[in-house]
Structure 1
Amino acid sequence: MSSVQHSSTAAINGIEEPIEKNGSAGNGSSQQDVQTRCRDRPIHANRHMRVVCIGAGASGIYLAYKLKHYFTDFTLDVYEKNLGVGGTWFENRYPGCACDVPAHTYTYSFEPKWDWSANYASSSEICEYFSNFVDKYGLRQYISCGHEVVGSHWEEEASEWVVQVEPPGGAVFEKRCDFLINAAGILNAWKWPAMPGLHSFQGNLVHSANWDSSLDLTGKRVGLIGNGSSGVQILPRVQRVAKHVTAFIRSPTWVNPSRNMEYHEYTDEEKLQFREGPGVHLQLRKQIEHVMASYFPLFIQGSLAQETALQAVKGLMKQKINNDILAEQLIPKFAVGCRRFTPGPNYLESLTLPNVAPIYGEISHITPCGCVTEGGQEHALDVLICATGFDTTFKPRFPLIGRHGVNLTEYWKTEPRSYLGLAVHGFPNYFIFLGPNCPIGNGPIIISIEAQGCYMAEFMNRWQKEDIRTFDPKLAAVDDFQEQKDLLMQKTVWSSNCQSWYKDRVSGKITALWPGSTLHYLEALAKPRYDDFDVTYACRNRFAYLGDGLSQAELKPKGDLTYYIREKDQGELLCRTLMSTYNAKDSGSRLRVPLGSILH
């Protein structure tokens, strides 16, 4: 797919000429002329910006929306390795696959959906939501599906990223950009379990994240490895059709929602009320989000919230299992929330059914006919399902080479160290959605994606308007953030004695979670701390963007040049640097849209 250009012109001494990436008029100017002409424009006039985004899941789609609706003078290419949008919700189609977050809050904050079929929506329904969002806002023009990014490196002299892209059945091509955004997500690289003899199995071997839709489990002897989020969703659905299911449980885990968040299918009457009842749907969304946003005290070791939750969930699990021996094996001894908490509708009840055999312990090896457990017993199987998760090291799937030839995979060999979960020292103009130490398990996640997108947009906006060359987080800032993060994590249940993908397997540090609540994260990202970044400029003079002495407000036809005259202080910022051009765009002016407070 070709790039979509969003071009503009700006008045230069009364003559409108295209503005190129380097800030000059598009007339083949010399470098000396470029240095002069970059001053010969109104303050904050745009230069063209090229953006490449990796992935068209919830994060990549949001970035496309943000750029389309708040930016001009940009080119955006979103490369998605799958054949459709939706990210993990396009990929994961195993039986029972659903989000373990209530559906009415698993939407963008400004784009509710009133007709969810149930409070825990299926993967296909969630994928449809994101696909419909893309169509509603005309975002497919930016997205190339079936295109996998296979490499990227930073070119210092040109101050740009060179991205290698492999299209379907074609030769790898290069795409150059000013900003590289990684929106591939955390759970995007599934992996087989490291079990001897796994691929000697002669039955049907399938991973939950690479499900074979043609696989018929009716009347089959099925083995299920794993009791994480995927495993607890698969068992109740597979049990209904399989002759027998052997559930291999390698470690206990907390499985149960609170009493008011059990699985519930919405009736037509409820949906109608969500659609037409004044404020009904908004109130429901706020109530659910409030519960999720209140989680953080539960994650503090020894807190009242932790002790209360532990006793409550333990009691509910015992009640559902209704078997003291099984309960002793399945109910964890570690804190609630130390590992990812999952609702798991009907999982515990399924373990007690006649055609299900829960086997607690490790699998020693796999044979052509089944699984052999530690005691030497072989369990004969026709199908083996591995619900064994993903590579959660945060390392990219492809070589990503930053400054001085540093490969990010090697740089993060001992520990993934980020700046606020979204940037990396030595990798300028590179941002990550849901990077290391983002709030993936702290509370509501979609609003965190929005906050990250707005944060990145601030940098892009400044790059366009102030002739910035590069933004690179300082190593000292990254080190200080990591030190502060590690100090707080010592107080949380995530640091206690349980195995979890939240912990880095090499360093043992908590690398997947933010050191605070989701609301804490929103405040941390409310405004960029530019002093934490090494900032370089495209022009010799950092104040070249001040231009020809005219403000953007003055160029607005019949604009209000006295916007600052008021009868009283209404709490508005006197500085109109950004809002003035936003108003100008609404009036049909050629001036381009900035961001500022309109993003927050």
Structure 2
Amino acid sequence: MTKTDSATNFGGSGPLSAGEIGVAVQSANIPPLVMIVYQFTGDRAWLSDRYRPARIRGLNPRTDGGLSPEAQAEVRAAAVPVIVALSAGEEPAITTVDGDEMAELISFFLGEDVDSRYGPMLGAEIERRSKTRGAPLAPPVETPAGLRAAVIGLGLAGLAAVNMLQTMGIEDYTVFERGDDVGGVWSVNKYPGAGVDTPSHLYTFSFAYQDWARHFELRDELHAYFVDVFDRLQVREHVRFGTEVIRLDYDENTAIWTITAKEPSGATETHTANIVLSTVGALNKPKLPQLPGLDAFRGQQFHSTHWPDDIDLSDKHVAIVGAGASSQQIAPAISSRAANVTIYQRSPQWVAPFPLFRQEIGESQRRLLASTPLFHAWAWLEQFWQFGDTVIHHLRIDPTWQHLDRSVNERNEGQRRFFTRYIEEKLENRPDLVAKAVPDYPPFGKRILLDNGWYDTLKRDNVELVTNSVTEVDATGITDSQGQHRDVDVIVWATGFHADRFLDSIDVYGRGGRRLRDTWGTDDPRAYLGVSVPHFPNFFMLGGPGSFPGSGSVMYVTEVQARYVRELLGKMFAEGTTAISVTEELNDRYNAEMDELHARTVWSHQGFSTYYRNSKGRVVFIMPFTNLEYWERVRGASLDDYERHGVAYVPAANATASV
């Protein structure tokens, strides 16, 4: 994206005038302003203690940075001519920073000592998000003639895969999407209140800037963003909507994958590809309880991900089964119009204060972020740290800690006290609800949720929180484990997903006829970096098992994976190798390391259940690493980690499907 493009992203309004910049900087967060003034001028006086930002605390923005009013005024005044100059195309005095200096700058910016290892990683992101607004920093890759790729799924990972192929210069590719729209979970999840609990600017591709209206966007705007990215990538001619991949077969003689897909008509078709990228995700298989009487219910019932477009809940008696993320978004959104809402909670959740809930980003701030990529890059880094690796210290078990039943280390205990106080304050004068709402397991054991009105909803006269499990459904309603029956008109099953069953809807056959489902079993998937599996050559995953971040941004990790695959394929093509798959030895060692690290995190604590773990208690969904630790593993892709399969190259474009 050119500088002009990024400047006009805000409704075609164009670059900011000096007067508009003067207004915008008055409400801008101080820390990013300090950094762009320093980077533009090169004057280290801006790195003095007078301008050093305070450390990030909680989820609140650092608007004043903890600086004195006088220092704030100096920063804002200095920022105006800097942003004017940047808008005019002038280059900063400091355009490239080496790793050690970047680590120093980041420590100053964040107000805390940051490991010098972060320098190269975060420095690369500042460069990527400021210099080119996400345009490729590497040239296209020289690919073999007739090479063809396939992408399965068109959610956020699918779009990242398409962008990767395009930056490599691969033009012959097909995207298979079983739905009729782009956007993955944001295409199908349309329930009331649906939204993201990651800051909007963290939930954004580096290669597709977005002018977000809210700090945390809602479903419709998120879906519109992915549709917009789809249009920007000009990928429509490559996509087969309504086409579900049901089988993949690898031919060892030609190193060609045959893709069997079901068309909307129900007929099957076959395609061929040299490279297959699976981007099918994991939160797409709804989990429904197996209860007596489900078929007898005469009202409406549905999983939250299948919310009917035409349902009217006015004056209806509604039951929501589950109290996780979707339930906590649905209940506040419907409780004012339903006659009553009964929430069946298996276990309570830790919920954090959400001061920015549905708060809009001011228009001048939006224009400043859109027109000044360097400012946006530093603002992005601030949120990336706030929601990312700074959290990981609360998650790792201290074996000497004396209260492992309730927390896993001293910081985790502090979080427990903080969250408990918040619950008690929100539910003041309702000790009955406090008893039901405070979890007995350590914070972060399950995904931390953000309070979008959950506790206020629980206090409503027409809302009841039931902590007994559901045991039976009949024609008129639900019976709980204490034998109490409640009549309801509508049942919403907010019961989550089978997050441990990666790729279980596709039969994947690799070398020697190995079936991936047999290799993994029902719910024990293992992959190297979440990307590659032994004996399945040229089959790569974005968002594979064990690679979702425990904190931070899934968008960032997905892009990191895409860049890893890009580098890996580039080296494979340059070497003249036809096909590769990760070695068994490395895959086993990597997964053993993951298991050992997970055993030392809160996610392996036995005091609760979580979709992060499979039926045997193994954590299979998220990774135990910090963003830095994962980045260090994917940095510098090496073919030595892979088995080379020495067959003559055959262009998939010329190959015949073989099943």
Sort the TM-score into its range (normalised by shorter chain).
Answer: 0.7 to 0.9
The whole-number CA distance in structure 1 between the counterparts of 2:185 and 2:603 is 25
Correspondence for 2:597: 488
Q: Does 1:140 align with 2:236?
A: yes
Residue 530 (structure 1) shift: 2.3
In the superposition, the TM-score normalised over structure 1's length comes to 0.79
Partners of 1:54 and 1:183 within 8 A in 2: yes
Amino acid at match of 2:379: L
The whole-number CA distance in structure 2 between the counterparts of 1:522 and 1:280 is 24
Q: Does 1:83 align with 2:199?
A: no
Correspondence for 2:83: none
Partners of 2:500 and 2:612 within 8 A in 1: no
Query: Deviations 1:438-494 (Å, cap 9, x if unpaired)?
Result: 033332211100011111112322333333222111111111111111111121111
Mapping for residues 76-475 of structure 1, pairs under 5 Å: 76-114=173-211, 116-169=212-265, 171-257=267-353, 261-276=356-371, 280-293=375-388, 294-301=390-397, 302-322=408-428, 323-396=430-503, 397-413=505-521, 415-475=524-584
Query: Deviations 1:288-313 (Å, cap 9, x if unpaired)?
Result: 21201221111112434322222211
Correspondence for 1:500: 610
Correspondence for 1:54: 152
Amino acid at match of 1:89: W
Amino acid at match of 1:81: R
Amino acid at match of 2:413: E
Residue 533 (structure 1) shift: 1.4
The whole-number CA distance in structure 1 between the counterparts of 2:373 and 2:158 is 32
Superposition RMSD on alpha carbons, in Å?
Answer: 2.0
Correspondence for 2:164: 66
The whole-number CA distance in structure 1 between the counterparts of 2:422 and 2:231 is 43
Partners of 2:282 and 2:502 within 8 A in 1: no
The whole-number CA distance in structure 2 between the counterparts of 1:476 and 1:310 is 40
CA spacing shift, 1:153–1:455, aligned 2, 3 Å: same
Identity among equivalent positions (%) equals 26
Q: Does 1:478 align with 2:575?
A: no
In the superposition, the TM-score normalised over structure 2's length comes to 0.72
Partners of 1:52 and 1:76 within 8 A in 2: yes
Correspondence for 2:4: none
Gaps of 5+ in 2: 1-140, 398-407, 650-659
Partners of 1:205 and 1:385 within 8 A in 2: yes
Mapping for residues 545-560 of structure 1, pairs under 5 Å: none
Residue 161 (structure 1) shift: 1.1
CA spacing shift, 1:174–1:45, aligned 2, 3 Å: closer
The whole-number CA distance in structure 2 between the counterparts of 1:534 and 1:282 is 38
Correspondence for 1:547: none
Residue 170 (structure 1) shift: 5.1
Amino acid at match of 1:190: P
The whole-number CA distance in structure 2 between the counterparts of 1:477 and 1:498 is 32
Residue 400 (structure 1) shift: 1.5
CA spacing shift, 1:318–1:366, aligned 2, 3 Å: same
SS of the aligned residue for 1:523 comes to helix
Correspondence for 1:578: none
Partners of 1:444 and 1:518 within 8 A in 2: no
Residue 270 (structure 1) shift: 4.2
Amino acid at match of 1:105: L
SS of the aligned residue for 1:471 comes to strand
Between 1:189-198 and 1:228-237, the stretch displaced more is: 189-198
Correspondence for 1:517: 626
SS of the aligned residue for 1:213 comes to coil
The whole-number CA distance in structure 2 between the counterparts of 1:103 and 1:69 is 25
The whole-number CA distance in structure 1 between the counterparts of 2:370 and 2:565 is 34
The whole-number CA distance in structure 1 between the counterparts of 2:434 and 2:291 is 27
The whole-number CA distance in structure 1 between the counterparts of 2:321 and 2:455 is 15
Residue 514 (structure 1) shift: 1.2
CA spacing shift, 1:275–1:44, aligned 2, 3 Å: closer
SS of the aligned residue for 1:468 comes to coil
Partners of 2:281 and 2:502 within 8 A in 1: no
Residue 278 (structure 1) shift: 7.9
The whole-number CA distance in structure 1 between the counterparts of 2:643 and 2:392 is 33
SS of the aligned residue for 1:427 comes to coil
The whole-number CA distance in structure 2 between the counterparts of 1:417 and 1:117 is 39
Residue 231 (structure 1) shift: 0.7
Residue 287 (structure 1) shift: 2.0
Residue 436 (structure 1) shift: 1.2
SS of the aligned residue for 1:245 comes to strand
Partners of 1:134 and 1:140 within 8 A in 2: yes
Partners of 1:402 and 1:408 within 8 A in 2: yes
SS of the aligned residue for 1:389 comes to coil
Amino acid at match of 1:439: F
CA spacing shift, 1:441–1:261, aligned 2, 3 Å: farther
Residue 52 (structure 1) shift: 0.8
Amino acid at match of 2:514: V
Partners of 2:468 and 2:482 within 8 A in 1: no
Residue 132 (structure 1) shift: 0.6
SS of the aligned residue for 1:385 comes to strand
Query: Deviations 1:413-444 (Å, cap 9, x if unpaired)?
Result: 16211111111112111111111110333322
Q: Which runs of 4+ in 1 moved over 6 A?
A: none
The whole-number CA distance in structure 2 between the counterparts of 1:255 and 1:329 is 13
SS of the aligned residue for 2:478 comes to strand
CA spacing shift, 1:398–1:44, aligned 2, 3 Å: closer
Amino acid at match of 2:150: V
Amino acid at match of 1:331: V
Partners of 1:467 and 1:539 within 8 A in 2: no
CA spacing shift, 1:169–1:287, aligned 2, 3 Å: same
Correspondence for 2:38: none
Residue 97 (structure 1) shift: 0.7
